[in-house]
Structure 1
């Protein structure tokens, strides 16, 4: 028999997969759709991930992390539309896995879901769902922005329920370090070998060449959406691994984190993104407050002051185009781009004066011009917060900032007054500083809700909220080890 009870035999499963693969090959040969083979070949991999996720939901978190980080290149090089639906499916499947795992194993504590981020995300979901009733809303644009509706609530619930151990934090950080190095390698390839045909077509079709191929300067974006997203993520990596290297105990990992930090800073500069420079600067500023060590605070404050003086009050390295461009971030009034953005904000302020709920979800920025010709779709937002303001109004902007800032402040409170384990406190400090830097940078770039940044921010904020619980676990494990050691010593 092929089926025993409710279990499909390995033979039937193997034959089914083989038959599916053979059919895909035939279809590809007949219709020239060779990408079909690729997707079919990936089916066994996805099935393995699915099965392992039911056994250990952390596997699912790792898959979502990989999926988000490499979603853009997957979309770019397969030239397939509708791939965002796969993210929706992955999140729903992950939520179902969590429910099933909780029911069978009973090891998921739903009480951790009662936090600022998840509850705030639920309020945000209700608010953005209600945006469909906005008189100026467009249904198609609202549907296209569906991820913005559920992401904070559902993803934070999944992450806060699963990211419950120090080991899992370290695994996620190791994955991110590898992804960061891959992204840097791609950017270096672009710098010395040039953009490939698909990237050049994208630059031309989306008119990104106007902001990325400048006179005397090329802004490299690796496999990210744009240089702003790439540069800001590299800034986040530099802070995360730079601060973690101070507190991590293993010498090998300390050296590795320092190497990743150096390469990330280099990548930040070749991105040519001035706003991304404020990610490490903002991170260092917060670090001075969270460290609670006078010497360390003094050192970081001195470093921050030297950095400011270098860029704002000297012309050292001015011959280097990357340094020269970054320097303009400290002299915004002398920058034509800054002045244009300032004028655009004045126009938007007048337009949105009597629209407290905004124009409608998905109707912010020139990329939304396909939904209609109006001020919000013909004016570049140049900022994630301006985009949020355009789409959800001043009410939505205040709500969003309240949710994320409150979550970050809660994490900072736990770091300063609740976390006892020094290494854990150092890594959580690095996470908080990195997120703070990203939030500052989001004022000048619209990357915050894009892949992979949006998922990463929610994931790491969930880690911060679980900090006290993880610290308690570490303390209990240390006490058990001490008791075991004492018992063994007494026997001898």
Structure 2
């Protein structure tokens, strides 16, 4: 049919079935508005958006990965404005992508073989261990296990195969950095609004309902932006500062992109500073040390060591900038006699005694918020862990913690090995170095706060891990393309 002969929108309306459908839809929306008011209208709009998202993901499952990254940034903050179980949307989205791939498999072969990787194996073993924890005789709540295991293992286990299959090209890596950078800057802008002008009414309600206990110290707000808490905000911003700082350092041929990386890095470090999170300083500290190791340059290593010592002396042995509340709070991270550190060490001493006869821990979800919610009468629920690794230790025991740490160091070591010995393309090497250094920093910061398994850090880690493992394949493709062009 000639394009000018195709039925126009007005001609389509002449179709009785189309007209009937539009009238029916109008009637349903009108009745919703009459019966439920604005809530029904918002629900109807939400349903239309949901249907649109499902349709788009079934057409192009990769869109689900992009939405997963975006959702990771906003999912916890949304609950302050609309009190729903937004965290479960991550579960739903991951399952939806798998369902979309299943149906797409009838028409096209899905390359599941791309997910065959040592990374998939080690995270599957970890997921298997967490499943076995359901049978832990010390565990007292299946509900606590369900909610806690998602961030500990499930999201990682579901995400990584999808990323290998759908999000595995150089273009995807570049897209990932752009999306991450934009969302990180938005996080800093929201944080600055809280820092300079105060919180909005919804955030004030969240503080009044218990958030103030950890987010208003000595009359000073610990900035949390739209993240779950100040600890996650500070570590995530420090993570962005390290990753984008390294990208800016090595980007040579595109001034606009280099300027973008510089801006994101500076915004990240600024967000980390205003968060008032002391443990976040571990991200640039260890990320910087990791970069010096990856560079394999003795002169650079010496200069970096001098810089690191200088930073340590500034915080630990001077009072410069003591009038600034943010610097003053960061400085307490270097005080070995700091009261909260003493409390943490005392709690760890108690846990050591309790777990000595429990090699598999007290059960996933026995500690922290889930412990308080489901088993508030237990010892573990009433002993603060404060650290991601201490939480893993208390929940899964010495056996679980040992495997978990071995898994993380294996992943980190693989990324470092590829940067130091395998990758030839300089820009790809810089990108993987940035991800490796960022992971090292987050691993260090997770000792002070439970940041590793929370969003958005979790999904950023999983994407980074996959690209660490597939980078040699991307590198070979780039080298082959370069040879063909010449």
User: Conserved in 2, the CA contact under 8 Å of 1:328 and 1:334?
Assistant: no
Q: Higher mean Cα deviation, 224-233 or 14-23?
A: 14-23
Q: Given the superposition, is the C-alpha separation of residues 251 and 201 from structure 1 closer, same or farther in structure 2, using an over 3 Å criterion?
A: same
- Which residue number corresponds to residue 358 of structure 2? 355
More displaced 10-residue stretch of structure 1: 459-468 or 212-221: 212-221
**Which residue does the alignment assign to 1:280?**
284
Report the Cα distance in structure 1 between the residues aligned to 2:66 and 2:258, rounded to whole angstroms.
Answer: 23
Cα distance between partner residues in 2 of 1:252 and 1:102: 40
SS at match of 2:403: helix
Give, in angstroms, the shift of residue 383 of structure 1: 0.7
Deviation of 1:35 after TM superposition, in Å, equals 4.2
User: Partners in 2 of 1:152 and 1:18 — Cα distance?
Assistant: 45
1:124 CA drift (Å): 1.6
Question: Among residues 197, 203, 207, which one is paired with 1:203 in the alignment?
Answer: 207
Residue equivalent to 1:380: 384
Residue 290 in structure 1 maps to residue 300 in structure 2: no
Equivalent residue, structure 1, for 2:93: 90
Report the equivalent of 2:231.
Answer: 228
The partner residue of 1:124 within 123, 126, 146 is 126
Which residues of 2 match residues 284-323 of structure 1 at below 5 A?
A: 284-323=288-327
TM-score scaled by length of structure 2: 0.90
1:346 to 342, 346, 349: 349
Match of 2:271 among 241, 259, 267: 267
Decide whether the 8 Å contact of 1:364 with 1:388 is kept in 2: no
Q: Do the aligned residues in 2 keep the contact of 1:272 with 1:322 (CA within 8 Å)? A: yes
Secondary structure of 1:446 counterpart: coil
The answer as to 2:31 corresponding to 1:26 is: yes
Q: In structure 1, the residue corresponding to 2:81 is in which secondary structure?
A: helix
1:79 Cα deviation after fit: 0.9
Question: Would the aligned equivalents of 1:219 and 1:227 in 2 still touch at CA under 8 Å?
Answer: yes
**Which of 209, 212, 216 matches 1:213?**
216
Check whether the contact 1:381–1:387 (CA below 8 A) recurs between aligned residues: yes
Q: CA deviation at 1:16?
A: 5.8
Q: For residues 203-227 of structure 1, give each alpha carbon's deviation from its aligned partner in whole angstroms, at most 9, with x where no partner exists.
A: 2222x31222111532100011110
Q: Does 1:68 align with 2:59?
A: no
Distance 1:20 1:413, change over 3 A: farther
Question: Hey, what's the Cα distance between the residues in 2 that align with 1:351 and 1:474?
Answer: 54
Please report how far the alpha carbon of residue 13 of structure 1 lies from its aligned counterpart in structure 2 after TM superposition. Answer: 8.7
Question: 2:23 and 2:455 mapped to 1: Cα distance?
Answer: 34
In structure 2, relative to structure 1, the CA distance for the partners of 1:246 and 1:35 (3 Å cut) is farther
Does structure 1 residue 239 correspond to structure 2 residue 242? yes
Q: Which consecutive residues of structure 1, in runs of 5 or more, have no partner in the other structure?
A: 1-8, 483-492
The residue number in structure 2 matching 1:38 is 42
TM-score (ref. length: structure 1): 0.89
Q: CA 1:141–1:18 in 2, change beyond 3 Å: closer, same or farther?
A: farther
- Which residue, out of 463, 479, 485, partners 1:475? 479
Aligned length: 469
Question: CA distance change for structure 1 residues 109 and 262 in 2, over 3 Å: closer, same or farther?
Answer: same
Mapped contact 1:116–1:403 kept (Cα < 8 A): no
The 3 A distance-change label for structure 1 pair 473 and 50 is farther
1:153 is matched with: 157
Q: Is the 2:144–2:364 contact (alpha carbons within 8 Å) kept by the matching residues of 1? A: yes
Match of 1:110 in 2: 112
Superposition pairs of residues 246-261 of structure 1, within 5 angstroms: 246-248=249-251, 249-261=253-265
Runs of 5+ in structure 2 lacking a partner? 1-11
Distance 1:158 1:318, change over 3 A: same
Instruction: Please give the alpha-carbon distance, in whole angstroms, between the structure 2 residues aligned to 1:473 and 1:22.
Output: 56
CA distance in 1, matches of 2:428, 2:71: 27
Q: 1:19 to 1:427 in 2, by over 3 A?
A: farther
| Equivalent-residue separation in structure 1 for 2:128 and 2:196 (angstroms) | 48
Any conservation in 2 of the 1:98–1:158 contact (CA below 8 Å)?
Answer: no
Q: CA offsets per residue over residues 116-152 of structure 1, 9 Å max, x none?
A: 3321221122211121211232111112224134222
Aligned counterparts of 1:119 and 1:78: Cα–Cα separation in 2: 38
Moved more, 216-225 or 268-277: 216-225
Compare 437-446 and 409-418 and name the one that shifted more: 409-418
User: Could you give the per-residue CA deviations for residues 262-286 of structure 1, whole angstroms, max 9, x where no partner exists?
Assistant: 1111110111101000001110000
Alignment deviations for residues 67-99 of structure 1 (CA, whole Å, 9 cap, x no partner): 11111122221111x333322221011123334
SS in 2 for 1:451: coil
CA contact (8 A) 1:239 1:434 kept: yes
Task: Give how far 1:437 is off.
Answer: 0.3
Over 3 Å counting, the alpha-carbon distance change for 1:20 and 1:342 in structure 2 is farther
